[in-house]
Structure 1
């Protein structure tokens, strides 16, 4: 899996965690001087205040609460920390707006039943847009705090200005290197360091001539100079490295349309080949995830290479052959595509059993044997069969003719609830 899943394990009962009432207070780089009276009162009334050392050091001396810095890593320790503090008045410090890529969002996600009151401050994105003269509502904002730099491929390809929340002082150089590798050395790059503080700094450069970095606290403004690949399905076959095992462009576009990728869903691509179908589905959403099952080790590496190039490797996992490796994936899929291996024992049946009720299944078949199996599946599970035929121009001496590709039979079905 390219993106590990963190499991929080603790001997502390979750009920002790969710019993806590937690106040989350957003701080500016100037500290408490810009807080409202209510937020200040919350900090003065707290028994324990959690935050980074930098944030804790911004508190004034009259704050008497115990100050606890977050451990590293923080996520696996959250259950234990809040379990130990059961019954205490807890305040959590955040930078700017706690619900904007911040600890407030993390706590809400990890502890949905916890009572949380948020006291936001202006976000770093709002400050950056104010300095740049950009409209906040029209500016994309991305975080590299917990993401790889390749996650910016799609925003760069869109060709519109956007902001990046930096991880550290190396983040701007990583972005510049990515821009250069994508053929955009002239893209404008601006670094806004220590926004809202007395030592705020703003430097301007390009991907080829990076601006100066003076702090680990930075927001990077990126202005691409041209657009890249479209996010609509049907990328040219040349966009993918492959050995011939590739769902070709026109059939791929129709297949992705049949799969109908939606935000937050998980796709299984069985018989991944070059990973083109899964990759195009991921490019069609911002939060979808996919798992490719591919028996060949070389192809598995090629899938990841293609995913990195096209900006979705952080949302794609690659597993070995189906159906043996279905059990290595903990979550049931929302949608499944079978592009190869349909006639192998268990490939369809085990996948159908794992598919969520209401989930979608799309299967492409070329051989007579596979088509026969699709007809049987249609009789048993319903759905729709479609024959897809594509012919491309082909030169015959000084003349031209259409040369048809092998027709593809496609079955599309939705899994219905079992009637008892």
Structure 2
């Protein structure tokens, strides 16, 4: 599925092409690319994007999984509307936006996922436990942890759920930016990406 706004088959839409709201987190392009690679999406994948924020993962996954379905879950009505606008901007018509609070809203989504992306936040252990009930054998889960507490919650949950083929990456990105007459490298906040499979 190619969009007139992003006509390439490769992911990596520049951050500035997405509509944003002040204070709403957005997964930067470099981290997004890593997340998408660890999700190992297929053309027909059903993906749950929990805590979808600006909707960057949902949009990119929707474009990659042309015959699949993406469910973007976001608790805030204004943020859910933002995700819908970003989906419209890039023609990601196979993304369904659900307003709800995880893990409670996960019980009635209608479609079980083959892939799940968890964008950090509160209740990580409860979310992972509920996700595990819906994920089929060979399903994959990828979670972001931006704090030591989040890393601990995801790591402990992975151990309790007996997640297999676990991979953990700590990513720090520096971007070249212009400051006055100088060009300097500016660091983004480091982040942990944890992934694994249900066997």
- TM-score with structure 1 setting the length: 0.44
Within 5 Å, give how 1:72-87 maps onto structure 2.
none
Q: Offset of 1:280 from its aligned partner?
A: 0.4
Q: Offset of 1:231 from its aligned partner?
A: 2.9
Q: Deviations over 1:345-387 (max 9, x none)?
A: 6212101221111100000111111011233234442411111
- In structure 1, the partner of 2:48 is 268
Note the residue ranges of structure 1 that are not aligned, 5 or more in a row: 1-153, 158-181, 183-227
- In structure 2, the partner of 1:279 is 59
- In structure 2, the partner of 1:408 is 191
CA distance in 2, matches of 1:269, 1:276: 10
Q: Offset of 1:264 from its aligned partner?
A: 1.5
Within 5 Å, give how 1:135-146 maps onto structure 2.
none
RMSD: 1.9
Structure number with bigger Rg: 1
Structure 2 residue 50 is matched with structure 1 residue 235: no
- Is this contact kept in 2: 1:343–1:370, CA < 8 A? no
Q: Offset of 1:155 from its aligned partner?
A: 4.5
- In structure 2, the partner of 1:373 is 153
- In structure 1, the partner of 2:97 is 318
CA gap 1:386/1:156 in 2 versus in 1, 3 angstroms: closer
Structure 2 residue 29 is matched with structure 1 residue 246: no
Q: Deviations over 1:129-187 (max 9, x none)?
A: xxxxxxxxxxxxxxxxxxxxxxxxx4564xxxxxxxxxxxxxxxxxxxxxxxx7xxxxx
CA distance in 1, matches of 2:17, 2:71: 20
Q: Offset of 1:333 from its aligned partner?
A: 0.6
Q: Deviations over 1:297-323 (max 9, x none)?
A: 00111111111121112x111112211
- In structure 2, the partner of 1:361 is 141
CA distance in 2, matches of 1:394, 1:265: 37
Secondary structure, aligned partner of 1:402: strand
CA distance in 1, matches of 2:158, 2:105: 26
Secondary structure, aligned partner of 1:346: helix
| Equivalent residue pairs, number | 193
- Is this contact kept in 2: 1:258–1:362, CA < 8 A? yes
CA distance in 1, matches of 2:141, 2:118: 8
- In structure 2, the partner of 1:350 is 130
CA gap 1:365/1:344 in 2 versus in 1, 3 angstroms: closer
- TM-score with structure 2 setting the length: 0.88
CA distance in 2, matches of 1:400, 1:345: 42
1:340 aligned to 120, 123, 144, which one? 120
- In structure 1, the partner of 2:168 is 385
Q: Offset of 1:398 from its aligned partner?
A: 3.2
1:291 aligned to 71, 84, 107, which one? 71
CA distance in 1, matches of 2:2, 2:171: 33
CA distance in 2, matches of 1:412, 1:156: 29
Within 5 Å, give how 1:120-139 maps onto structure 2.
none
